[in-house]
Amino acid sequence: QAQLVESGGGLVQAGDSLRLSCAASGGTFSMYAMGWFRQAPGKEREFVAAISWIARSTSYADSVKGRFTISRDGAKNTLYLQMNNLKPEDTAVYYCAASRFREVSDDSDKYPYWGQGTQVTVSS
């Protein structure tokens, strides 16, 4: 059974850094693109970043470009999101997602597998 488990969230101050991890199991996730999405209270889930199946290409939301970096370790079946210079507006539940396509996409409908989410709270 396919499973994605996020970790690494927490409470930090503005300007701090966090690294989220997503451990994937029960599926051939290394053959597909993966991504991070987030949902803030009272808002819809939004795209954060995505990485293609062999990490040849990445895509980022404009709001996180230059601050966040997505990466993956195929040997460990793990997806990462390095978040630097965090801002209060980055506060959200962050979700890891696995696609059924090899190339990046910001469309959540292309990601059938989702983790349970990890909370990131950034205080000002």
**Digit-coded pLDDT (tens) for 9-63:** 999 999 999 999 999 998 888 889 999 999 999 999 999 999 998 878 999 999 9
Q: Alpha carbon of 63 to those of 15, 74, 78, 104: distances in Å?
A: 15, 27, 24, 17
What amino acid is encoded at 108 in this protein? S
Average pLDDT taken over every residue of the chain: 95
Strand, coil or helix: 21? strand
Whether 1 shows a pLDDT value over 80: the answer reads: no
Q: What is the pLDDT of residue 111?
A: 96
Q: Residue 26: what pLDDT?
A: 86
pLDDT for the residue 31: 87
Adjacent-strand bridge partners of 114: 97
- Per the CB < 8 A criterion, the answer to whether 15 and 124 are in contact is no
Q: How far apart are CA 53 and CA 59, in angstroms?
A: 13
**pLDDT of amino acid 72:** 95
Give the separation between CA 87 and CA 117, rounded to whole angstroms: 19
Q: What is the pLDDT of residue 2?
A: 81
